Amino acid sequence: MTQQMTTQRPAAPHYANAYALPAGDELDLAKIEMSVLMRWCNDESRSFYRHENHDPRYAYELFRRALVDRDDQAWAFLYQHYFPLAEHWVRRTGAFTMSGESSEYFVSAAFTRFWRAIPAERFRSFPSLASLLNYLRRCANCVVIDAVRAHNWNDMLPEESINWNNQAFSEADEEATERVHRVEFWNYINELLSSEAERIVVHSSFILGMKPGDIFAARNDLFAGVDEVYALKRNILNRLRRNSELRAMYE
């Protein structure tokens, strides 16, 4: 009888925001056994996907144990549980098709970024399951976009000229700083270009990921042929690689 009471899942309360943690609930989630908590989390997720009333507290508690207590079992469960959702976000990112990487690679990178970005002291900044999942979605989007941009930047600058040790994102302010650097980078690139044709080639190649043939097909009013696009791109890259100020930005 005692065991049955221990594992019986309490009815999910009905409240306006199904993602928000209800205040003053008598259930002490911290005392629930891990296996029971994981089973309840699975049950509530199924209810959510069926558009039924559901309770997000169990998933939220698993995130708390993973990120605050640094519980490996909780983290392993969350990784497996939310892997399909994170993979869905990765594949919906427009840059994914240009990345050349598998969705599994980016899901792993997204979870790693998420883990590093939320140490125990930051967990209170995420008061609900929705806020945690929204941040995980941002991580999934960012790792794809960053990978594509890094690959394209690598075409502009030799790999040895970039200090990748400075590219780590463990906190939101570091990510914001990196985004500012990107804007400065592209603004500077734009100043070095001398014509609309050059700007079209750079933007189409390194932002949109287009091939010379696609660029010519889209803007045949600017170019005599695909060979001209190839030549212009090659000349731009050679000029940028010789630019000492541009190289200094990544040393």
pLDDT in the model for residue 243? 75
pLDDT of 233 strictly over 50: yes
Residue 182 has pLDDT above 60, yes or no: no
Is 9 in contact with 53 (CB distance < 8 Å)? no
- What's the rounded Cα separation, in Å, for the pair 212 and 179? 27
User: What average pLDDT does this structure show over 211-226?
Assistant: 88
How far is CA 58 from each of CA 28, 33, 47, rounded to the nearest angstrom?
11, 11, 13
Q: Higher-confidence residue: 186 or 140?
A: 140
pTM of the model: 0.55
CA distance 173 to 80: 29
The model's pLDDT over 127-145, given as tens digits with 9 standing for 90+, comes to 999 999 999 999 998 888 8
Q: Taken in order 43, 49, 53, 54, is the CA torsion positive or negative?
A: positive
* Residue 155's pLDDT band (cuts 50, 70, 90): low
